[in-house]
Amino acid sequence: MGSAYTTIAADAIARFQRLLGKKVIFITGTDEHGEKIAAAAEASGNSPSEHCDTISHSYRLLWADLDIKYDKFIRTTSSRHEAVVKEFYSRVLNNGDIYRADYEGLYCINCEEYKDEKELLENKCCPMHLKPCVLRKEDNFFFALSKYQKKLEDLLLSNPDFVKPSFRLNEVQSWINGGLRDFSISRSSVDWGIPVPNDNKQTIYVWFDALLGYISALLENEESPSLQQAVNSGWPASLHLIGKDILRFHAVYWPAMLMSAGLTLPKMVFGHGFLTKDGMKMGKSLGNTLEPKDLVHRFGADAVRYFFLREVEFGNDGDYSEDRFINIVNAHLANTVGNLLNRTLGLLKKNCQSTLPFDSMAAAEGNPFKDTVEKLVEKARCHYENLSLSAACESVLEIGNAGNLYIDEHAPWSGFKQGGTSSEMAAKDLVIILEAMRIIAIALSPITPSLCWRIFSQLGFSEDQLGALTWSDTDWGRLRAGHIMPDPKPVFARIETEKEGGNDSNLKVVKNKKKVSRSEGLVEA
């Protein structure tokens, strides 16, 4: 679930930036080299190449199921990536930052990293994977990380936004201030990797290799696979979005490597937190893993995306519980958003033949509800820009809450019964709520793209019109008199729990026949 969470968040950020009219290159992919991959392949009875093909394909399918719309998918076993890595290695070597030496230390296979003994738990166990590290002695090539101690210190002092959130910056500064040591960038004991230039007995360390995927991914298939060509195609990155467990590689090793190669640094590294389940760390040994494909199959992509982006304050750790998941999704998406749209369209059909009797600007003239919506939209925009995805969801949902309160207080059904000016005011109320729903459909689309398409469709717009939208379309006043809405249909399936025998709970998603995904055949690992 960790990789899925990262990629869902990256997709939401990319979708928002596209709404702003920015040219976005959203990169994801699979890191496919190293001892851990080779061991997993052997355990599965496949070659490393076959194993990577299977895993990469499974991520592509999962990203499609999660409505993830990436632009580039990089596999680090590709020939173009290998060419870029070798050229980068040679550039760093020519800068005098690679040397050969013996090294002996405790190595975590799962982290693919040598560990300091002071980092380890009892029995020399890795604190991340809770497995004993193994003692290794190798003749390796090293990167002169210590040479960049002062430059990295200065980087974080002059540009504190390089690492976000701020408490992650404190972690990185602590690592650097503790004194940087050169690190091994080759392995003589690992065959599954990119050969070190001019020494085929060693392979390049997986992290020295994998980080270059951010650059090699920029190449088009037909382009010459050169480092400079890749850099010219879109580097530097505006944002690296990662889990906090790989922060050291991205915020210490990577900028030093780029400095050595004479390349520009990414603008920001954002390290998000971990997910737990029912308050406990997840793990196969505990039997409590959370499989995103199972969640999508049971509840749909919109529910999964919304829960994790709304309930987890981005950057902090977060927890999943099924009860909380169902309660949040039902309350926010089925009730606050879906039910408001459905009952408003029902009233429009019954009293106005599904046709808008007023422009939304005219209907809201002098009405403070319009001001409320505009303020909440601006709040949502600011939260998106600050990567505060949970707060962005909350601001958009407040529009729905305000809409439900408005319709309950104004009771347009009563106005239609009274006739005359009361009926006219009731008709304006419906237009006002439907305009708010149009705005919700745009403002929430980075989070729940398929749900927002269904809302937009229920408002009588085409998919082409949806694709042409920008954030400026959240401005009030786009609905026009005479616009015809289709017959109301539920846009979000409520999750129902059926208690059987007083203990086990069976879940079902109440929906219209089958779910139709609007994903565009996306994918990653």
In this predicted structure, the answer to whether residue 41 has a pLDDT above a threshold of 80 is: yes
Higher pLDDT, 510 or 127: 127
What are the chain's domains? Answer: 295-509 (1.10.730.10)
In this predicted structure, the answer to whether residue 515 has a pLDDT above a threshold of 50 is: no
Query: pLDDT tens digits, residue range 253-264?
Result: 999 999 999 999
**Mean pLDDT, residues 43-57 taken together:** 96
Higher pLDDT, 214 or 200: 214
Q: Which residues is 242 bridged to in the sheet?
A: 271
User: What residues contact 301, with CB distance under 8 A and at least 6 apart?
Assistant: 65, 66, 67, 450, 517, 519
What is the structure's pLDDT at 507?
A: 59
What is the structure's pLDDT at 6?
A: 96
- Kindly write down the DSSP assignment for every residue of 265-298, as one continuous string: PPS-EEEE--EEETTEE--GGGT----HHHHHHH
Place of tokens 């999750």: 495
Question: How far apart are the C-alpha atoms of 192 and 83, rounded to whole Å?
Answer: 16
What is the structure's pLDDT at 399?
A: 99
Angle of the 368-385 helix axis to the 389-410 helix axis, nearest 10: 170
Query: pLDDT tens digits, residue range 63-116?
Result: 999 999 999 999 999 999 999 999 999 999 999 999 999 877 787 777 777 777
**Is the peptide bond between 165 and the residue preceding it cis, with omega within 30 degrees of 0?**
yes
Comparing 186-195, 227-236, 259-268, 514-523, which segment has the lowest mean pLDDT?
A: 514-523
Return the DSSP state at 35. Answer: H
What is the structure's pLDDT at 103?
A: 77
> Would the CA dihedral through 349, 350, 353, 355 be positive or negative?
negative
The average confidence (pLDDT) of the chain is 91
What is the structure's pLDDT at 506?
A: 54
**Mean pLDDT, residues 37-42 taken together:** 93
Query: pLDDT tens digits, residue range 141-188?
Result: 999 999 999 999 999 999 999 999 999 999 999 999 999 999 999 998
- Other beta carbons within 10 Å of 153: 14
Instruction: List, in sequence order, the alpha helices (H) in 114-197.
Output: 149-158, 166-177
